Amino acid sequence: AAKSNGGNSFQYFTPSMQQNAVSRMSLISDLRIAIAANQFQLHYQPIVNLITGDIYKAEALIRWQHPVRGLVGPIEFIPIAEETQLIVDIGDWVFREAAQQSARWRTAIEPSFQISINTSPVQYKNDAFSAKDWLDYLDALKLPGDAIMVEITEGALMEYGSSIDQKLFDFRDANIQVSLDDFGTGYSSLSSLKKLDIDYLKIDKSFVDNLAPHSNDLALCEAIIVMAHKLDLKVVAEGVENEEQRDLLIAAGCDYAQGYLFSKPLPAIEFEKLLKSR
Ligand code: C2E
Ligand code: MG
Ligand code: MG
Ligand code: MG
């Protein structure tokens, strides 16, 4: 279960453990203390501008340094965090941590630096979630909205629809950009893309994996890119692992790319070294 995403070898909470009530309860109680005990960390993966080659955007990806189980990846605990609503506090932590990091890199390295964070529809649906608190936090750090971008999956947006629209509009009003993650897997309508005033589409890795000249996946990527540009959206391709994929995406007019070809997600200190070395 755990290893399919990213080749990371986290495999501490296996599906059978998750189905086991006792280990599930211990996972939940461990999760409850993880924030206070400072066990979460963000790793950063560069989002490469395919025209200029710069890496002034990064996606923040959460990891959990569990005291006994070691480094646990998000697909092993985000679903349970969502079920228990713990995702609201975890999501607030991710936002604050990313905002602080963005402030540091904007001051020290690149004034336009932007960090993209993943958000769950469960956060937006919970009454404890406050878009205003996030905006106040940015103000306190003297950061403009575009120091942060929020990602939401296409599937989540379609499933929860209008109950989260308003919060995304609050972000848009504050100049926080919105990115539709895993695009192509969630059957969104073209009208919803227009209505929500989204800034970026992230083409799901499953379309990038088998990119080859004259392939159906290339035709799909080309069509998504043309459509996105007509709607004034930028396009990020996810999961780019080799030069052929990169070159086909450049030829198709794709704006940005992420993937192991450029870098795996890195701890902040290593990401900063990468930034400075360029
Ligand atoms: P995502 O947002 O679609 O993130 C992309 C995933 O693909 C990441 O896995 C990343 O490490 C991996 N990846 C990037 N480039 C490549 C590549 O070239 N090849 C391969 N095989 N994989 C690549 P990761 O870090 O395990 O995250 C998995 C998912 O967990 C994310 O998918 C996102 O949906 C969720 N997630 C991560 N961090 C957070 C968070 O802070 N909050 C919430 N709500 N969800 C999060
Ligand atoms: Mg993402
Ligand atoms: Mg994605
Ligand atoms: Mg994905």
Question: What integer pLDDT is reported at residue 28 of this predicted model?
Answer: 92
Amino acid (one-letter) located at 263: S
What is the overall mean pLDDT for the chain?
90
For ligand 1, atom 12, which residue shows the shortest CA distance?
A: 6
Structure token pair of residue 68: 């006994």
Q: Are 46 and 58 in contact (CB under 8 A)?
A: yes
- For residues 195-221, give the mean pLDDT: 94
Residue 13 has pLDDT above 50, yes or no: yes
Residues near 15 by beta carbon (within 8 Å), at least 6 away in sequence = 1
Q: How far is CA 44 from the centre of its chain?
A: 10
Does the C-beta of 4 come closer than 6 Å to ligand 1? no
Question: What integer pLDDT is reported at residue 159 of this predicted model?
Answer: 75
Q: CA nearest 98: which of 151, 49, 163, 33?
A: 151
Residue located via tokens 């990846």: 73
Does the C-beta of 94 come closer than 6 Å to ligand 1? yes
Question: What integer pLDDT is reported at residue 137 of this predicted model?
Answer: 97
Does the C-beta of 184 come closer than 6 Å to ligand 1? no
Extract long-range pairs of 230-237: CB within 8 Å, 24+ residues apart: 231/190, 231/193, 231/194, 233/193, 233/198, 233/199, 233/200, 233/201, 234/199, 234/200, 234/201, 235/200, 235/201, 235/202, 235/203, 236/47, 236/179, 236/200, 236/201, 236/202, 236/203, 237/202, 237/203, 237/208
Largest CA distance in the chain: 52
Does the C-beta of 122 come closer than 6 Å to ligand 1? no
For ligand 1, atom 4, which residue shows the shortest CA distance?
A: 61
pLDDT tens digits along 254-265? 999 999 999 999
Residue 237's CB: how many other CB atoms inside 10 A?
A: 32
Higher pLDDT, 48 or 27: 48
For ligand 1, atom 27, which residue shows the shortest CA distance?
A: 74
- What is the ipTM metric for this complex? 0.98
Structure token pair of residue 74: 């998000």
pLDDT tens digits along 59-105? 999 999 999 989 999 999 999 999 999 999 999 999 999 999 999 99
HSE (side-chain half, CA atoms, 13 Å) at 253? 14
Looking only at the bridges linking them, the beta strands covering 234-237 and 256-257 are parallel
Residues near 229 by beta carbon (within 8 Å), at least 6 away in sequence = 235, 253
For ligand 1, atom 23, which residue shows the shortest CA distance?
A: 6
